[in-house]
Amino acid sequence: MTDNARGFLDDLELDALTELVNLGVSRAAASLREMIGGEQVHLSVPSVSLVGRSRAIEILSKSEPGKLVAVHQIFEGPIYGRALLIFPETKSLELVRAVTSMALSIDDIIDLEHEALAETGNVILNSCLATMANQLRRTLKISLPEIFRGDGQTLFGAATAPQASDAVVFVYINFTVRRGDIQGYIAMLMDMLSLTALKGLLDEYIQRTIDGSEPSPDALA
Amino acid sequence: MPSSGWNDAPLQALKNGVCARMSYKILVVDDSRLARMAAGKALSDMYPGWTRLEAANADDAIKIAPQADMALLDFNMPGRDGLALAEQLRGARPTMPLAIVSANGQREIVDRAEALDVTFLAKPLMEDALRAFLGSAVRRLEAGSR
C-alpha cells in the first residue's frame, strides 16, 4: 500500500498533533513514574510520524525483532481508533515487577502479570488519550484494556486495525525506564476517515491557540 | 514516628489530623486486583484501624455498599462504569463520601463526577490526594453523626 497518511496533514497541523501527543505522553510518563515509585521515565523526543500500516510494521520489526506484547484500547468519538502500549515480551515481567513495588514473590508476580499489564496500559493510555481529548475539547469513550501478543504484523494487522481500511496512522514514541531495562512504544492507529476528522479538530485547536482567548482545559482539570 | 508496639491506629490517625474515635469501613471498587492492592496498601498505611471492603464490579459493590461508610470507585470497569455506580449509590446515600479514581481525566468525566458530588482522584492514586479525600470524608461523616 502507499503511505497515504504522509502528507495528509500540513506542517502546522503536524506540529499541533506533535504538541498534543507531547502533552499526552508527558502526562502518561508522570503516571508511569508514580506507578514505579518515582523512578525516572525517559521519553524519546515525540516526533510524531504518520505512516501507513506496512511502514509501521517495518519500523517496529526493525527495532524490535522479537515477540512483543501490547496493551490495546479502542477510543471512539469524533475520532475512532486504537491506542497501543507496546514492549518486548521478554521485558513484561520486569515491568510488572516495577509496578508491583510492594513485596511480591515471583509466583505472585507471574500470577499478576496479565492484570498488571492491563492496569499499567490502562493508566498510561488513558492519561495520554484524556489529555489529548481535553485539548481538542472533545470527549472520547475509551474501552477496557485488552492484551495482544505477537510481532509487529500481528499488532498492526487485522486483529487490531480500526477497520478493514489500509490507511493507518502510526504515532510512535519510545520510553525507557529502569536505566534502560524496560523500553516500549506508544502507538495510535486511525483510519483515513478519523484522520480527516482529526485534521478538522487540529485546525480548531490551532485557531484557539492563535486567538489565545481561552485557557487550556488542562489548566483547569 | 516510632511504633509503640501496640495498636498504632490512634497515633496514625492523629498524624493524619483526624479524630480517632471511629473506625470506618471503606469500599474499594476496581476490576483490577493490582489497583485494589495498591489502594489497600495506601489505606492501611494511613488508617491501619479501618476496615477495607472490596468489589470487582458495580453489581458486587451495590451488594456490599450498605456496610460501607465511604467508597473509592474505579471509572473504567466491565459492566457499569464507576460514574453509573456513583449515581446509584448517591441516590441511596445522598451524603456518602464517594471518589472516582481514574487516569481518564477528561473534562466530561470530571464534570459529571462533580455534578454528583463525587471527588475525582487521578490514577495512579497520589498519597496526598487520597489523604485529602479521606480527611474530608471523615469530617463529613462526623458532622453527619452529631
Q: Is B143 on the interface with A (CB under 8 A)?
A: no
pLDDT at A161: 53
Residues of A in contact with B76 (CB under 8 A): 122, 126, 142, 144
Residue whose C-alpha is closest to residue B87's, from B106, B112, B68:
B112
A75 within some domain: yes
- ipTM of predicted complex: 0.70
**Cα–Cα distance between A157 and B9 in angstroms, integer?**
54
The H-assigned helical ranges of chain A are 11-35, 53-63, 92-99, 106-136, 152-156, 192-211, 217-220
Which CATH number is correct for B22-133, 3.30.420.40, 3.40.50.2300, 3.30.360.10, 3.20.20.70?
3.40.50.2300
Whole domain around residue A204: which residue ranges?
A: 11-208
Which residue of A123, A144, A216 is the best one to mutate when testing the B interface, meaning the one whose CB has the most B CBs within 10 A?
A: A123
Q: What's the pLDDT band for A219 if we cut at 50, 70, 90?
A: very low
pLDDT at A57: 85
Domain of residue A179, CATH code: 3.40.1550.10
**A-contacting residues in B 88-107 (Cβ below 8 Å):** 102-107
Instruction: Using the predicted structure, report yes or no on whether residue A200 has a pLDDT greater than 60.
Output: yes
Q: What's the pLDDT band for B95 if we cut at 50, 70, 90?
A: very high
State the burial class of residue B119 (Cβ atoms within 10 Å of its Cβ: 0-12, 13-18, 19+): middle
Domain ranges of chain B: 22-133
A67-110 pLDDT per residue, tens: 999 999 999 999 999 999 888 888 877 777 777 766 667 777 77
B121 close to B101: Cβ distance less than 8 angstroms: yes
B72 to chain A, closest Cα gap in Å: 16
Mean pLDDT of B96-123: 94
A221 within some domain: no
A57 within some domain: yes
Q: What's the pLDDT band for A143 if we cut at 50, 70, 90?
A: very high
B124 to chain A, closest Cα gap in Å: 6
A216 within some domain: no
> How does the average pLDDT of chain A come out, rounded?
79
A113-130 pLDDT per residue, tens: 888 889 888 988 998 899
Q: Which letter does DSSP use for residue A86 in this model?
A: E
Mean pLDDT of A196-206: 93
A3 within some domain: no
Domains: count for chain A: 1
Nearest chain A residue (CA) to B105: A130
Q: Is B124 on the interface with A (CB under 8 A)?
A: yes
- Predicted structure pTM score: 0.77
Q: Which of A3-7, A32-36, B74-78 has the lowest mean pLDDT?
A: A3-7
B24-78 pLDDT per residue, tens: 999 999 988 878 888 888 899 899 999 999 999 999 999 999 999 999 999 988 9
Residues of B in contact with A109 (CB under 8 A): none
